[in-house]
Amino acid sequence: MAIELGSKLEGKVTGITHFGAFVLLPGGETGLVHISEIADSYVRDINEHLKINDPVTVKVINLDNNKIGLSIRQAVDRPASERPERPERPFNNNRDRGPRGRAGGGGFGGGRPTFEDKMGRFMKDSEERLQALKRSESKRGGRGGRRG
């Protein structure tokens, strides 16, 4: 039986490692289910989800040089309403300009700081450090103060 990309197959877990599980497929071929393809949630320990000789339904997601990439989580048919939703990320298209005409409100509470904000903060910190260094040198007579 030829294994095709995207096909769903029944298999049996034959081995478990820290990075995934090996599954025996029909026809005697073996594929790997990577740890990230076992469940929709974070999988810390594969042994909490699978045991050797467990029957599993897998989907073929990769065929490369006799290596078969499998997925358990993609093999499960779910209606669109049950799929875990990705959180919405605000899209900043320079529409919400803050003070000084910079996107994101100048980096103070509204979105990501711009390059100019980061550079301004760096210059301010740098200037403060230079002033502190000059003050400490004048107190202890630095830069060739008294020579005896």
Which tens digits make up the pLDDT trace of 99-134?
555 554 444 556 788 999 999 999 999 999 999 888
Report the pLDDT value the prediction gives residue 82, as an integer from 0 to 100. 60
The confidence score (pLDDT) of residue 89 equals 62
Structure tokens belonging to residue 86: 């990705």
Strand partners for 71: 59
pTM: 0.53
Residue 112: half-sphere exposure toward Cβ, Cα within 13 Å:
8
Q: Supply the pLDDT for residue 106.
A: 47
Contact in structure between 104 and 69 (CB atoms under 8 Å): no
Superfamily of domain 8-71: Nucleic acid-binding proteins (2.40.50.140)
Which residues in the chain show pLDDT less than 50?
A: 104-107
pLDDT attached to residue 138: 76
HSE value, Cβ hemisphere, 13 Å, CA-based, for 127: 6
